[in-house]
Amino acid sequence: MTTRAFAAALAGAALLAAPASAEVAWSPLVDPAGLLALEEAVDPVVLDIRAIEAFGKGHIPGAVNAPYTQWRGPADNPGALPSEALLSVLVGESGIDELTPVVVVHEGSSASDFGAAARVYWTLKSLGVERIAILNGGLNAWTAAGKPLSTEPVRPDPTIFEAELSEEWRASVEEIEAAMATGDARLIDARPAGFFEGRLWHSAATRPGTLPTAENFTHDAWFVEGGPLVVDAERARAIAESAGLADGATLVSFCNTGHWAATNWFALSELAGIEGVTLYPESMVEWTAQGRMLDNEPGRVEWLYLSTRQWLQSVL
């Protein structure tokens, strides 16, 4: 998308406007003008989840830096959640408690990049933070709208935050196995088709394939012209209904590491307003590491061919 088209799309994607009264309606997505209105009305924590180096080169004035890597698990299981003790420190040092309004800011470079913001949003919601939003289009939307940047370091007043993760929006392995056996939930694979079909796999996964009984609905379906702007709530609902995802069935979103899946969860739960959507955060990396059954797993000869091809691509 060109800069001019991006700016035009921003103008058409204004999802939050300050009403005439002092009360500001809360939305899970805000545009730059909406963020400014929130800063005027409720003084949210602007949580910039980009890397420290990127943050230091320029950020929204007053933003707090908490890089995405801090919200993730180790290299062998990136989708795992940090311990509640680590989350207590991370959230508290960011100046956040349950009643603090928070706006999450990512780079806004692509549809995939949005997954980081959606995953942090999901984590904060699971920790009981009541008002959370994502800056639609990220920092790139902010700069495209002509808003200023700062390089001043920001040291928020820390809070005492006792992290306790809710299971309301989280799917466990046991729940997924039950869904496979009973059909009481639909498993939605957010990955591109090559992963779903078993032709590609994450470097930390032990085998290619998908969860048994899963359906493929890719994370990039929620974006304007392929990204990085997310569609509005009305359009998200229409997409979900058109795909048959709003028929009342319980939905479980997964991917490789709970990153792309967080976008599906956010769009279905927070934008389309579908109740009971859950996220399997550890996703395929954990599932394959435990040696569990797969659909679309290639046979031995095909697996040897695919493994060799992927290795050659990694070294050439």
pLDDT digits (tens, 9 = 90+) for 112-150: 999 999 999 999 999 999 999 999 999 999 999 999 999
Share of the chain above pLDDT 90, in %: 85
Contacts of 66 (CB under 8 A, 6+ apart): 47, 48, 49, 90, 93, 94, 120
Asked whether 254 and 280 are in contact (CB, 8 A), the reply is yes
- In the chain, which segments carry CATH 3.40.250.10? 3-144, 173-315
Residue 13 has pLDDT above 80, yes or no: no
pLDDT tens, position by position, 186-213: 999 999 999 999 999 999 999 999 999 9
Distances (CA, A) of 247 to 43, 186, 187, 190, 215: 38, 11, 14, 18, 15
> What pTM was estimated for this model as a whole?
0.90
**Confidence class for position 21, pLDDT limits 50, 70, 90:** very low
pLDDT tens, position by position, 66-111: 999 999 999 999 999 999 999 999 999 999 999 999 999 999 999 9
| 173-315 is a CATH 2.40.50.180 domain | no
Fold of 3-144: Oxidized Rhodanese; domain 1 (3.40.250)
Contacts of 310 (CB under 8 A, 6+ apart): 200, 201
